[in-house]
Structure 1
Amino acid sequence: MTTFHSIRAVAAVLAAALVFPAAGAGAADGDFLKGKKVSLLIGGGSGGGVDVSGRLFARHVVRHLPGAPTIVAQNHPAGGGIIVYQTLANVAPRDGTTFATFAAGPLTLPLLRDQNVNYDVRKFTWLGRMSDDANACHTMAGSKVRTVEDAQKIAINVGATGVTARTATVPLMLNAAIGTQFHVIAGYKGSEGVLLALERGEVEGRCVSFNSIHVTRPDWIPQKKINLLFQTGLTKHPRYPDLPLASEVAKTPESRKLLEFLGQTLAVTNPFALPPEVPPDRTALWRKAFDDTVRDPAFLAEAKKLRLEVDPAPGPVVERLVNEIYATPPDILAIAKASMAKGKAKKKAKKKKKEN
């Protein structure tokens, strides 16, 4: 669990970036951003899917925000991005001068862990989501595990960032739902850390969004450097119609309901949010800026160049999706929680320092 020492560290960064007095809640439209520095907290490592989409958005949203603010992006990948959730809920100023984007793994953590995570995502001021992205579970080309049937018979190590990250929780739920034998090794620094572990052979596979694969290692799929085992989500990714859905393999109603819950969480991919209790006029300004940005031809052209798929939804839709996730029936949550408890992610071993 991320410590409050870490949260205070982010608070210090925010204080350094926001060296101006906060504007009053009654400031005229956009006046509060004029000439200001706006902090973007990125709950992912440098070069990963969350980072790439977050920085892309930051480069273009400035054209749709009045006052010509400067956006300062800061990466905080610890714990799968949980520190950003906690900072947004408890530390970030609620005046519209700080916003965040993060991996969606910690979004469901309060539902799945019997511990106080100190944030409530239902109180966040949601701006929108960048995409609705199916996940894929894959292994490296040299692995003996090449299909979903192989994954049900042969145990392999899969890499993850934090124990609360989607790269950890998704394979654990899949173990419970369809009988895969994924052993989660967590603790790698951001997406790039997991990618390097795969390339070094420390782990054999991972479960991650298609978007992340396309952006970070665009040659892996076309050059058959990985084996795509199956995909998770409510529907298939349009580019991979022949790759089976995990729900097609599920054998019981309980398993299918668990996968439906998992699919709902995947519908909130690369979300953007302000802290709770941001004044309504500033919320409206930011939501309009989000909607205008994701339709901006220049933004879409650069997203295409980066191989980043954009399937946006506005803030009110994300708010509804989050509330629906948190209305999941207790019996399904019990199955999901049991899967987390049964197959706890192991933290990767730290390298010993060489003695002089």
Structure 2
Amino acid sequence: MTTIDRRKFLAVAGGTVAATALPVSFASAQGVSFAGRNIEWVIPFAEGGGSDAWARFLAPYLSRHLPGQPNVIIRNVPGGGSITGTNEFVARARPDGLTIIGTSGSTQFPYLLGDPRVRYDYSVLPPVLVSPTGGVVYLPARFGIEDASQLGQLADQELVYASQGATSLDLVPMLAFLVMGLNVRHVFGMTGRGDGRLAFERGEATIDYQTSAAYLSNVQPLVDAGEAVPMFSWGVLDAQGNVQRDPTFPDIPHFVEAYEMMHGEAPSGVEFDAYMAFFGSGFAAQKPVMLPQGTAPEIVATYREAFAAAVADPELQANKEAALGDYEQAVGDDVEGLYRVATTIDEEAREWVRQYLTETHGVTF
């Protein structure tokens, strides 16, 4: 099966998390208007990064489709790896619909890991949009590995991965390689995935992944030249929580398929549960948009309707490639379940990954 813990998904999607399971319809949004107002969209990262570009791309379409067509202004609040701005949002933002926040996997990871600096609780922030992204893992062609079914040939060989850090988004490949049974040494200190790719090209790293856009622009030429071979994508989650192939790479198996190709059975266990939690936060639902705790249901409904209309806007669809890629944006009824999968982790899995990071990589919590 390519399904996450179905009971967990159905429970959270069905509204057992009462704080934010808001059974509102778009019709209930009637009467809400932001005419003449400014909407502040908090981005807890510096200007010029991926989250900033994502928000600035979406902002004019959100403005167009919110009632009253208010100005949507991006406010960057960097610091603490995005913890500072998110803490400030939950402490100060009023539930009047005039302030929203967009976070990223690097904001979700400290929350999932129980970082003591975190003062935000995703379970009480009503989500109104979830944006996924993707990535592909690849090997040097000189290994002679043609696809994931042959990965077992590398079980006794040490691979090297150039990493940005044990608790960064590179935690996803770390857990993936562990679950897969690959022997990978993680070399920390990279400032970005571009550094990892360059280490791969120099022969210093022997396994790497790049996000979708970077893979298409920088790695596909290596594949075409016979220098690299894709093994698997991370995949995406559908509305039911099933892992599906990445629409950008429909011919490349996703991680669960690759595991099955290598081992002949589906992955399971606490390590896989941990991987799924961080895969959800880091890729399948990387960038959510939320309103403050206590926001009225009719305002939540208004935003969900506006984001649904914005995503369907023909102009956005014609210009989305660089900012959103081919990924389906979760809006409307699809938001709640996917958001919960991306912002929750079983306690057993949380404790396992914390212990693993401490014992293996010296991470302290």
CA contact (8 A) 1:29 1:281 kept: yes
CA contact (8 A) 1:89 1:119 kept: yes
**1:178 alignment counterpart:** 180
**Alpha-carbon distance in structure 1 between the residues aligned to 2:80 and 2:209:** 17
**Alpha-carbon distance in structure 1 between the residues aligned to 2:326 and 2:74:** 21
Q: Counterparts of 1:1-356 in structure 2 under 5 Å? A: 29-31=32-34, 33-36=35-38, 38-41=40-43, 43=45, 46-48=48-50, 50-75=51-76, 78-113=79-114, 115-131=116-132, 133-138=133-138, 149=151, 150=154, 153-160=157-164, 164-165=167-168, 167-180=169-182, 181-183=184-186, 185=188, 188=191, 193-195=192-194, 198-199=197-198, 204=205, 206-207=208-209, 209-210=211-212, 212-213=213-214, 218-222=217-221, 224=223, 227-233=229-235, 234-238=243-247, 239-243=249-253, 245=255, 246-248=258-260, 249=262, 253-254=268-269, 255-265=271-281, 266-304=283-321, 308-314=325-331, 317-324=334-341, 328-344=345-361
**Alpha-carbon distance in structure 1 between the residues aligned to 2:144 and 2:90:** 41
CA deviations over 1:152-200 (Å, ceiling 9, x no partner): 733424233x7543x2321332243223414152573xxxx44256447
Match of 1:71, SS state, is strand
Deviation at 1:83, TM superposition (A): 3.3
CA distance 1:103–1:111, change in 2 (3 Å) = closer
Structure 2 letter corresponding to 1:294? V
CA contact (8 A) 2:83 2:117 kept: no
Unaligned runs of 5+ in 1: 1-27, 347-356
Structure 1 letter corresponding to 2:326? E
Match of 1:253, SS state, is coil
**Alpha-carbon distance in structure 1 between the residues aligned to 2:95 and 2:187:** 37
CA contact (8 A) 1:134 1:235 kept: no
CA distance 1:267–1:39, change in 2 (3 Å) = closer
Structure 2 letter corresponding to 1:82? I
Unaligned runs of 5+ in 2: 1-30, 236-242
**Alpha-carbon distance in structure 2 between the residues aligned to 1:163 and 1:74:** 29
Deviation at 1:75, TM superposition (A): 4.3
CA deviations over 1:84-129 (Å, ceiling 9, x no partner): 4323322334332222222224324333246352111111121111
CA deviations over 1:239-297 (Å, ceiling 9, x no partner): 24344625334676324444444444443132211222223332222111111101111
Match of 1:83, SS state, is helix
Aligned length: 306
CA contact (8 A) 1:80 1:105 kept: yes
CA distance 1:316–1:121, change in 2 (3 Å) = farther
TM-score (norm. length: structure 2): 0.68
What is the CA RMSD across the aligned residues, in angstroms? 3.8
Deviation at 1:64, TM superposition (A): 0.6
Match of 1:230, SS state, is strand
CA distance 1:195–1:263, change in 2 (3 Å) = closer
Deviation at 1:68, TM superposition (A): 3.2
CA distance 1:70–1:86, change in 2 (3 Å) = same
Structure 2 letter corresponding to 1:98? T
Structure 1 letter corresponding to 2:219? W
CA deviations over 1:10-68 (Å, ceiling 9, x no partner): xxxxxxxxxxxxxxxxxx6224x5142533415476253x3333221113211112333
CA deviations over 1:210-236 (Å, ceiling 9, x no partner): 2x436xx63532553865343234232
**Alpha-carbon distance in structure 1 between the residues aligned to 2:246 and 2:156:** 22
CA contact (8 A) 2:171 2:278 kept: no
Match of 2:289, SS state, is strand
**Alpha-carbon distance in structure 1 between the residues aligned to 2:63 and 2:197:** 37
CA contact (8 A) 1:126 1:316 kept: no
Structure with bigger RCO (C-alpha 8 Å, 6+ apart): 2
CA distance 1:122–1:44, change in 2 (3 Å) = farther
Structure 2 letter corresponding to 1:118? R
Query: In percent, how many aligned pairs have the same letter?
Result: 19
Match of 1:67, SS state, is coil
CA contact (8 A) 2:233 2:254 kept: yes
Match of 2:244, SS state, is coil
**2:28 alignment counterpart:** none
CA contact (8 A) 1:287 1:315 kept: yes
Q: Which moved more, 1:118-127 or 1:224-233?
A: 224-233
Match of 1:317, SS state, is helix
CA contact (8 A) 1:44 1:102 kept: no
Q: Which moved more, 1:79-88 or 1:278-287?
A: 79-88
**Alpha-carbon distance in structure 2 between the residues aligned to 1:197 and 1:109:** 23
